């Protein structure tokens, strides 16, 4: 072969395999070395066999010291059981994700999100590859946000409690005034005060309810639930209100719905009531249809309550905000439609507490369908 000419001799499978293996090893080594998070390998006994610079920086160990150390030596004692369980799971052939703390030789603590991946050779787990992401700053921000949210919840609850007592006195006093022998004009003003007081009382109750849910203080009280009795209770007031607005309202309970189930009757009634109230409030003409059905789901039974209306509907850009607190689905709402924006936020939290689902389908100008599904025990 003349100097400078490329080697055109055919490659054998052996030389091709050797080249591919060398390239694969080099690529793995590059990924391991330059990984932005702490990367390391552990043998079946839990001793480190290799580590990149980020892992050495996090632990304060040299590579030589790391290769003599067990993972238990760098993990916070309170979190060791978490890592041990994850290690055993990875050695069992299943990738694991854990949250724990690493303590360096200098005593510095680092919050980590650790991913443990089994190393399988010839069908046998021979060790574990680990990648630990430093989430210390993210956890700090999360704790601050949680603290700020708790402070907000406490403030709302405290103010609401302070407002409720004098507000109850105003509502009671105005009611006594209306029952007295007032002239037409003072009676008109007394009714305005009473009606406004009642609206404010509803707002205060909603804020207190939401504050309790935010603080995880709300507890479900399970007992016997007669779904048909709840529907009848809603029908008793909703039919009158629908007639007053010139609307048609129907209630249908499928025969398959169990006569009695176990759940929190008051909370179930509260969610259905809110959905029906919203349907009546945002429907100018047409119908509101409430249908209750049930379906088996594994070992449990689900009850589905569908509330369909022919109301104003919801713009697609506002659907995602429906369950946010203090947010109105209709920003231009006024009068009877104007609320504090807590009803659906409370419903969503109550439904989540029940282990249920709350979904919505809506078309602007055509109407909406809310479906409240919740698991029950017979």
Q: If 0-12 CB within 10 Å is exposed, 13-18 middle and 19+ buried, where does residue 52 land? A: buried
Arithmetic mean of pLDDT, 199-208: 81
- Measure CA of the first residue to CA of the last residue in the chain; give whole Å: 87
Arithmetic mean of pLDDT, 48-73: 95
pLDDT digits (tens, 9 = 90+) for 248-275: 999 999 999 998 888 999 999 999 999 9
More confident of the two residues 318 and 329: 318
Q: Which residues contact 349 (CB under 8 A, 6 or more apart)?
A: 210, 213, 214, 218
Arithmetic mean of pLDDT, 323-340: 61
Query: Three-class SS of residue 245?
Result: coil
Q: Which residues contact 199 (CB under 8 A, 6 or more apart)?
A: none
Radius of gyration of the chain measured on its C-alpha atoms: 32
pLDDT digits (tens, 9 = 90+) for 107-148: 999 999 999 999 999 999 999 999 999 999 999 999 998 888
Residue 93's pLDDT band, with cuts at 50, 70 and 90, is very high
Residue 16's pLDDT band, with cuts at 50, 70 and 90, is very low
Residue 26 has pLDDT above 80, yes or no: no
Query: Three-class SS of residue 292?
Result: strand
Q: Which residues contact 303 (CB under 8 A, 6 or more apart)?
A: 227, 257, 261, 292, 293, 294, 373, 374, 376
Distance CA 83, CA 85 (A): 5
Q: What is the pTM of this model?
A: 0.58
Q: Specify which of 54-68, 178-192, 342-356, 364-378 reaches the highest per-range mean pLDDT.
A: 54-68
Residue 355 has pLDDT above 80, yes or no: yes
pLDDT digits (tens, 9 = 90+) for 145-165: 888 878 877 787 787 778 878
Residue 309's pLDDT band, with cuts at 50, 70 and 90, is very high
More confident of the two residues 309 and 159: 309
249: how many CB neighbours lie within 10 A of its CB? 22
CB distance 342 to 236 below 8 Å: no
Arithmetic mean of pLDDT, 71-84: 97
């Amino acid at each position: 072969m003349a100097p400078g000419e490329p080697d055109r001799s055919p490659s054998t499978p052996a030389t091709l395999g050797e080249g591919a293996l060398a390239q694969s090893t080099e690529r793995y080594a590059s990924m391991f070395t330059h990984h932005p998070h702490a990367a390391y390998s552990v043998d079946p006994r839990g001793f480190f066999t290799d580590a990149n610079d980020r892992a050495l920086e996090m632990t304060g160990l040299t590579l030589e010291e790391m290769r003599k150390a067990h993972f238990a030596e760098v993990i916070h004692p309170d979190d060791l059981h978490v890592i041990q369980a994850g290690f055993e799971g990875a050695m069992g052939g299943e990738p694991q994700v854990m949250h724990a703390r690493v303590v360096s030789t200098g005593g510095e603590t680092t919050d980590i999100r650790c991913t443990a991946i089994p190393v399988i050779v010839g069908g046998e787990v021979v060790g574990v590859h680990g990648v630990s992401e430093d989430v210390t700053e993210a956890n700090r921000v999360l704790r601050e946000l949680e603290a700020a949210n708790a402070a907000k919840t406490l403030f709302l609850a405290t103010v609401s409690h302070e407002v409720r007592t004098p507000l109850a006195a105003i509502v009671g006093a105005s009611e006594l005034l209306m029952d007295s022998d007032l002239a037409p004009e003072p009676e008109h003003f007394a009714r305005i005060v009473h009606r406004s007081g009642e609206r404010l009382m509803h707002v205060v109750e909603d804020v207190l309810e939401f504050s309790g849910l935010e603080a995880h203080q709300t507890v479900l009280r399970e007992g016997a639930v007669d779904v048909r009795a709840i529907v009848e209770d809603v029908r008793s007031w909703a039919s009158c209100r629908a007639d007053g607005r010139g609307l048609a309202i129907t209630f249908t309970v499928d025969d398959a719905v169990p006569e009695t189930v176990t759940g929190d009757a008051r909370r179930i009634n509260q969610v259905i009531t809110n959905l029906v109230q919203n349907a009546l409030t945002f429907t100018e003409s047409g119908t509101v249809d409430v249908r209750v059905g049930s379906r088996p789901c594994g070992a449990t039974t689900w009850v589905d309550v569908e509330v369909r209306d022919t109301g104003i509907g919801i713009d697609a850009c506002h659907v995602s905000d429906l369950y946010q607190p203090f947010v109105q689905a209709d920003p231009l709402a006024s009068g009877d439609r104007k609320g504090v924006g807590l009803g659906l936020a409370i419903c969503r939290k109550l439904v989540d507490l029940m282990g249920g689902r709350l979904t919505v389908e809506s078309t602007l100008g055509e109407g909406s369908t809310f479906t409240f599904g919740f698991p029950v025990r017979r």
